[in-house]
Structure 1
Amino acid sequence: MSSSRATYLPLTEQTLSQEHLSLLQAYQSRSSWIWINEVAPYTAPNSPSGEQRGFRFTYLHNDPTKTPSNATIVLSVDNYFALYINGAIVHEADPRNDLFAAQAFSVPLEPPSNKIVFAVRAINGRLNTLDTENPAGLITALKINFQGSEASEVLVSGPDMKWVGESLLAPGWEETDFDDGSWQTAVVYPSAIANATWPPDRRRLPLTIAVGAKPNSIAGRGSDGNLQPGAWAGIVVGAALLLAALAVIATFFFTRRRYQPKKRESIASSSYVAYVSAPATIQTTPYPLSPIHQEQVTSFTPGPEVVEQGDHPPAYMGSENATGSALSTSGRSSEQQPPGSQYQVHRASAHKSSTSASGLTNR
């Protein structure tokens, strides 16, 4: 179905003229209340509260000497309704409608006009939160005017008009070419039931009539502003995709937070290796030291100007340097660092001392 819809709106409100008197008299005296045949446990005139029913009446004109030019309809619904003529919206559903106050509408007919479909979406309102069923009904009368003629045809719900109804409304149900062959014929309420439920003395005729011009199209709407099933499916799919995206984002941040400590530990390890690794540009040449030099080196204690404070090496590194060889300086090198103390890296300003498995070298 197309996303655009034909509409007669907005309508112009006018005072009812003498030409509509015959229609008003037929509505008041001859029209009957109708509804679909509700299944058990509902019995006439009751219907489920808060539900809608669709009704269609198809007017067929086969006289080639007359061309229908205008349609006028008077109706009332318990509780309120939306009205379409040949698929174009004439009146939108309004819960403020008074079920005892009839409304009148008149619109021009577009050629070819030998088939005219009147469709009513009738809503049975809910009286209160505990209300599960209450009376529901539709009553109407219509008049067809003909081009170049003062003659007209008046029809009323009940004996003259074969309305059909359905509880489940398929997309496009109000359109002219919709197949309503499977819809049930509307039930005409007996006078005893109708008069007890909707007393004639409470029914009020309209004083004005809403007149429409040539229908036009509006885009982006379904029947009477309701979303089509495809639009609802699009909303559901969109919501599911949004929830999935939010779940992925949440999982990403949770995983990132969970593995953050290991990342910091790896950074600390790299910092330590950089401290104990010898620069690649320094060449070392071992040579023997005199006893005096040996004693000076062994007893050397670095001052604060040659001590660089650094982080403790990670526990899993033990006392290995960047190349994997064991560090063995003096007796102090095997001492355990007290908890919380900072790891110290010694640097000599002129010469750097290191030890290896073969002995002491100066570089």
Structure 2
Amino acid sequence: MTNQVNTALLPMTGRRALTASDTSLLDLFHTKASWIWTREDVKLGDSPNYEQRAFRKVFTMRGPPSNATIMIAADDDFALYVDGILVHAMDGTHDWTTAVAYHVPLPVVQQEEKTSMTLGIRAMNKQGWAGLLVAVQINYPDAPTPDIFYTGGDQSWVGERLFEEHCSGNSRGLT
């Protein structure tokens, strides 16, 4: 489910400093990305208090990547995985009104030659409205333009109410 929400007022914090190349991704995050959540028998965004949901997006890369920039906001907290590797643990300190940026070297396991990247997010709703907002830019060393995807851009984001956290390769896991 998606809902277009004006995110222009969301401040951006970083686990790293934002670069000039991040400007277009940040603009897309604020103007095109939409909040998503799992489909349930409640209105958009509502979820039982203190329950978690898993979201997954598999992206096919057009060549060997160098890195990814991931911008994320979650109501209320999240854990972030790239190809099954924990990038950010759910720590209870996330403020849903603040977006966070991560810079992740790719591939995350250097011995692997990958043609796709799996982004996994475990989101927790503490109370009331729930949602996840993400924009990702994959950079390539020999390509002048990056690949970009975001929540709400298409229907390829998979949201699960029930999941097994580290199940590789099946529809009920994050990896």
TM-score using structure 1 length: 0.41
| Unaligned 5+ runs, structure 1 | 1-11, 127-133, 184-222, 224-363
AA of the residue aligned to 1:44: L
Give the alignment partner of residue 148 of structure 1, picking from 133, 138, 142.
Answer: 142
Distance 1:161 1:109 in 2: 25
The aligned counterpart of 2:157 is 163
Quote the offset at 1:109 in angstroms: 1.2
AA of the residue aligned to 1:139: L
For the pair 1:86 / 2:47, whether they are aligned, the reply is no
The aligned counterpart of 2:125 is 124
Alignment deviations for residues 127-155 of structure 1 (CA, whole Å, 9 cap, x no partner): xxxxxxx1100011000111223321111
- Secondary structure of the residue aligned to 1:172 is coil
Identify the structure with the greater helix proportion: 1
Alignment deviations for residues 305-361 of structure 1 (CA, whole Å, 9 cap, x no partner): xxxxxxxxxxxxxxxxxxxxxxxxxxxxxxxxxxxxxxxxxxxxxxxxxxxxxxxxx
For the pair 1:104 / 2:101, whether they are aligned, the reply is yes
- Secondary structure of the residue aligned to 1:14 is coil
The aligned counterpart of 2:6 is none
- Secondary structure of the residue aligned to 1:18 is coil
Distance 2:27 2:136 in 1: 11
Quote the offset at 1:13 in angstroms: 4.1
- Secondary structure of the residue aligned to 1:48 is coil
Quote the offset at 1:106 in angstroms: 1.1
CA contact (8 A) 2:82 2:117 kept: yes
CA contact (8 A) 1:49 1:125 kept: yes
Identify the structure with the greater strand proportion: 2
- Secondary structure of the residue aligned to 1:71 is strand
Distance 2:100 2:148 in 1: 16
* Same amino acid, percent of matched pairs: 34
AA of the residue aligned to 1:170: E
Runs ≥4 residues deviating over 4 A: none
Distance 2:66 2:138 in 1: 8
Aligned-residue RMSD, C-alpha: 2.0
| Unaligned 5+ runs, structure 2 | 1-13
Distance 1:171 1:142 in 2: 22
CA contact (8 A) 2:72 2:132 kept: yes
The aligned counterpart of 1:329 is none
Task: Count matched residues.
Answer: 157
The aligned counterpart of 1:179 is 170
The aligned counterpart of 2:19 is 17
